[in-house]
């Protein structure tokens, strides 16, 4: 590392879901591990989950008054232009006060105004694009970015090739050490040894289709003798817990949110999941045979593109959202009892994992800062 007179100062912006927040925290942790004097400030959207999760991870965060555009006419949509102007103005104030050496955008509502303001103030910027399909915002920001860290190959379709760095997506460090925790995992989730386990995860906010598809086939799951760790998300938890309770299946463990994902992966034989970038990155690292059900309710249908990047390499099975109520559980049970297919998917998905993504990105951040000084 080159000598420096003062600590590095880094702003990391974005959030909205765990898929943006946890990679951002992983980058911050990697920067602090390289140089503990590094000063880091997060910028998120007010009232979103980053305002709680980032301080819990030990970092300061400032909130911007920004949200997405709704698909129907709402007061929020009418306020959107005001929110954009307000957020850019406040992002500029935050930058002036914090004086960062670099601003990193990880996606989410706050990412665009913060990076726009950073470009305006001639602060170097980096984009961390998590998906296999680049959204409009990142394509616009790419023109002024010093570096674009990506998780998938062939991203020169969307970004200038000379700015790309294939790093993979940063993930929570605790999931990398899960294989020795099976006993602890079975105790934590109150599972019975010797019976197979399916893990169902629909992202930090939950997934209606996955929840309804489990509910639709809960009798079939009971008859098959499998155990299920089922993360419903907070919006669906109470209803799903009540419905599952009526079915009287003690082998279905209903959870609102799973904070110990390392234990969930340790317990699981196979995983049913949405195809968000963070979920896929974690599945690649833990090498779990997976049934992916991409959400159709995302920009540019990017989850289907994420899933297809794995399916094309025979690294996962995909079930379309519209077909999930009928096909999701049968596909999972079919995989559960096909050990050869499990081994094949596990071997192929592991080749796509990048366990050092956060460190790789942190080193790129430092290179950009030092090239400027």
Extended beta strands in the chain, E state: 9-13, 39-45, 60-64, 102-105, 125-129, 147-150, 164-166, 197-201, 227-231, 252-255, 270-273, 290-292, 317-318
| Cα 324 to Cα 211: distance, rounded to the nearest angstrom | 10
Check whether 187 is labelled as a binding-site residue: no
| Cα 287 to Cα 24: distance, rounded to the nearest angstrom | 22
Indicate the SS3 state at residue 92. helix
| Cα 347 to Cα 313: distance, rounded to the nearest angstrom | 11
Query: Are 276 and 334 within 8 A, CB to CB?
Result: no
| Cα 218 to Cα 201: distance, rounded to the nearest angstrom | 16
Within 10 A of 117 (CB to CB), how many other CB atoms are there? 26
Query: Are 149 and 361 within 8 A, CB to CB?
Result: yes
Check whether 38 is labelled as a binding-site residue: no
Check whether 204 is labelled as a binding-site residue: yes
241 Cβ contact list (under 8 Å, min separation 6) = 232, 254
Residues facing 291 on adjacent strands: 272, 317
First to last CA, the chain: 13
Check whether 161 is labelled as a binding-site residue: no
Check whether 167 is labelled as a binding-site residue: no
Check whether 172 is labelled as a binding-site residue: yes
> What is the torsional sign of CA 77, 81, 85, 91?
positive
Check whether 25 is labelled as a binding-site residue: no
- CA distances in angstroms from 110 to 11, 12, 48, 61, 116, listed in the order given: 12, 10, 10, 12, 10
Check whether 183 is labelled as a binding-site residue: no
Q: Where is the binding site, in residues?
A: 17-19, 131, 172, 204, 258, 303
Q: Where is the binding site for UDP-N-acetyl-alpha-D-glucosamine, in residues?
A: 17-19, 131, 172, 204, 258, 303
């Amino acid at each position: 590392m080159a000598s420096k007179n003062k600590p590095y100062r880094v702003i990391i912006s974005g959030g909205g879901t765990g898929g943006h927040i946890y990679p951002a925290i992983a980058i911050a942790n990697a920067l602090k591990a390289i140089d503990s004097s590094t000063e880091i400030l997060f910028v998120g959207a007010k009232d979103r989950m980053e305002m709680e999760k980032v301080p819990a991870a030990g970092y300061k965060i400032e909130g911007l008054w920004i949200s997405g555009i709704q698909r129907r006419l709402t007061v929020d949509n009418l306020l959107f232009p005001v929110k954009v102007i307000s957020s850019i103005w406040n992002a500029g104030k935050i930058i002036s006060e914090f004086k960062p050496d670099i601003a990193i955008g990880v996606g989410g509502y706050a990412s665009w105004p913060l990076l726009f303001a950073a470009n305006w103030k001639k602060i170097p910027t980096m984009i961390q694009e998590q998906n296999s399909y680049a959204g409009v915002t990142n394509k616009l920001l790419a023109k002024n970015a010093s570096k674009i860290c990506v998780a998938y190959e062939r991203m020169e379709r969307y970004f200038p090739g000379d700015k790309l760095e294939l790093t993979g997506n940063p993930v929570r460090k605790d999931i990398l050490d899960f294989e020795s925790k099976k006993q602890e995992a079975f105790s934590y989730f109150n599972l019975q040894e010797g019976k197979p386990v399916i893990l169902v995860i629909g992202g930090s906010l939950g997934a209606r289709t996955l929840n309804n598809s489990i509910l639709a086939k809960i009798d079939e799951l009971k008859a098959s003798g499998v155990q299920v760790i089922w993360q419903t998300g907070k919006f669906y938890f109470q209803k799903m817990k009540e419905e599952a309770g009526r079915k009287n299946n003690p082998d279905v463990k209903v959870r609102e949110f799973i904070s110990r994902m390392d234990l969930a992966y340790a317990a699981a034989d196979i995983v049913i999941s949405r195809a968000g970038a963070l979920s896929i990155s974690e599945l690649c690292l833990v090498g779990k045979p997976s049934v992916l059900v991409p959400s159709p309710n995302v920009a540019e249908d990017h989850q289907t593109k994420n899933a297809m990047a794995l399916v094309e390499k025979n690294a996962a099975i995909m079930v379309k959202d519209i077909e999930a109520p009928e096909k999701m559980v049968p596909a999972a049970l079919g995989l559960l009892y096909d050990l050869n297919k499990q081994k094949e998917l596990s071997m192929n998905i592991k080749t796509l994992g990048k366990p050092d993504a956060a460190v790789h990105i942190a080193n790129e951040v430092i290179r950009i800062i030092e090239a400027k000084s």
